[in-house]
Amino acid sequence: MSTRGEPDTVPRLARPFVALLIGALLASAIFAWEPWPLTSFRLFSHVRSDSQTSWRATLVDAAGAEAPYALGSSARGFRNFGFRMAEFAATGQGRRAELCRAWIDAAPDVARRRAVEVRLYRRSWLLSEREHDRAAPGGEERVYDCTRAGARVAG
């Protein structure tokens, strides 16, 4: 002990622990890896503009009835549906057809319905347009229709 009451040495595991903690923080930031309690700080590192968009999917059964399709809550790994839709919009017909088949095949697991088509809607709204303390709902347009044969632009 020193004269000030502080230990003369650092505990043996303190330096490796700090090195591991800093390494984990850096890895989570670099690879957008977010195991609790680590974060890549995406909430604060992305620019938010007034114009916002998101995607919504619906199922269409053989009778033509349309129902909501919560792809983001699927146990088959369709999380991050918004990122998948960015890929969908930018990719070729082969990859679009592959995604369409996967979404249609997963329908009974997610919505307990047999689907023949998945319709994809783009929602748009402005954060500055308010209804009380929330953003106004904005608008929605049907952009793609997915079948087992592939995707086509809705018309």
**Over the stretch 69-113, which tens digit does the pLDDT of each residue have?**
887 766 655 767 877 888 888 888 999 999 899 888 888 766 677
Question: Contacts for 125-131 with beta carbons within 8 Å, 24 or more apart?
Answer: 125/51, 125/52, 126/50, 126/51, 126/52, 127/48, 127/50, 127/51, 127/52, 128/50
Could you tell me if 61 and 101 lie in one domain?
Answer: yes
pLDDT band at 119 (very low <50, low <70, confident <90, very high): very high
Average pLDDT over the chain, rounded to whole?
83
Could you tell me if 58 and 118 lie in one domain?
Answer: yes
Model confidence at 59: pLDDT above 80: yes
Could you tell me if 136 and 88 lie in one domain?
Answer: yes
Provide the number of structural domains found in the chain. Answer: 2
**Over the stretch 6-28, which tens digit does the pLDDT of each residue have?**
667 888 899 999 999 999 888 88
Could you tell me if 41 and 53 lie in one domain?
Answer: no
